[in-house]
Amino acid sequence: MERFTRSQFPDTPFLFFTGKGGVGKTSVASSLSIAIAGEGKKVLLISTDPASNLQDIFGQTLSNTPTKIEGVDNLFALNLDPEQAAQHYKEQMVGPYREKLPEVVLQNMEEQLSGACTVEIAAFNEFAKLLTDRSVIENFDTIVFDTAPTGHTLRLLQLPSAWSTFLDDNTTGTSCLGPLKGLEPQREIYKEAVERLKSADQTALMLVTRPDVNPLKETARASNELFEIGIQNQILLVNGYMKDLNSNDEMEKAFIARQIKALELIPKELKQFEQYYLPFVPYSLSSMERMQAWMTDQDITHENEIEKGMTIPEVEEMIADYLERKPKIIFTMSKGGVGKTTVASYIALRLAEEGMHVHLTTTDPAAHLNWTFGDDKIKNVTVSRIDPKSEVANYEAEVLAKASETMNEEGLAFVQEDLASPCTEEIAVFRAFANVVENHKDEIIIIDTAPTGHTLLLLDATEAYHREISRSQGEIPLAVSNLLPRLRDANYTSVAIVTLPEATPVFEATRLQQDLQRAGLSVNWWVVNQTFSSIETTSPTLIQKQQAETKWFEEIKSFSNNQFVAIPWVKTPPVGTKGLHELKGEKNK
Residues classed as catalytic: 22, 24-27, 49, 504
Q: Degrees (nearest 5) of the Cα angle 182, 187, 192?
A: 140
The runs of H, that is alpha helices, within 367-421 are 369-373, 388-403, 409-418
441-466 burial: b if 16+ Cβ within 10 Å, else e: eebbbbbbbbbbbbbbbbbbbbbbbb
357-379 burial: b if 16+ Cβ within 10 Å, else e: ebbbbbbbebbbbebbbeeeebe
Instruction: Provide the 3-class DSSP secondary structure of residue 257.
Output: helix
E-strand stretches of 210-318: 234-241, 274-279
Length of the chain: 589
Q: Are 109 and 63 in contact (CB under 8 A)?
A: no
The sign one gets for the Cα dihedral 497, 499, 504, 506 is positive
E-strand stretches of 96-201: 142-145
Beta bridge partners of 499: 528
Distance CA 401, CA 416 (A): 11
Encoded amino acid at 464, one letter: A
Question: Going by DSSP bridges, is the β-strand pair 358-362/444-447 parallel, antiparallel, or unpaired?
Answer: parallel
Give the C-alpha distances (Å, rounded to integers) separating 82 from 180, 183, 217.
15, 14, 27
Give the C-alpha distances (Å, rounded to integers) separating 296 from 278, 419, 540.
10, 46, 20
What is the DSSP code string of 291-338?
HHHHHHT--------S-S-----BTHHHHHHHHHH--SEEEEE-SSSS
Q: Are 511 and 341 in contact (CB under 8 A)?
A: no
**CA-wise closest residue to 474 among 487, 483, 484, 461:** 461
Distance CA 346, CA 487 (A): 22
Distance CA 106, CA 100 (A): 9
Distance CA 367, CA 340 (A): 9
N- to C-terminal Cα separation, the chain: 30
> Please, which residues have CB within 8 angstroms of residue 408's CB and are 6 or more apart in sequence?
none
**CA-wise closest residue to 121 among 52, 173, 190, 63:** 190
Question: Going by DSSP bridges, is the β-strand pair 14-18/358-362 parallel, antiparallel, or unpaired?
Answer: unpaired
Distance CA 576, CA 578 (A): 6
> Please, which residues have CB within 8 angstroms of residue 515's CB and are 6 or more apart in sequence?
452, 453, 454
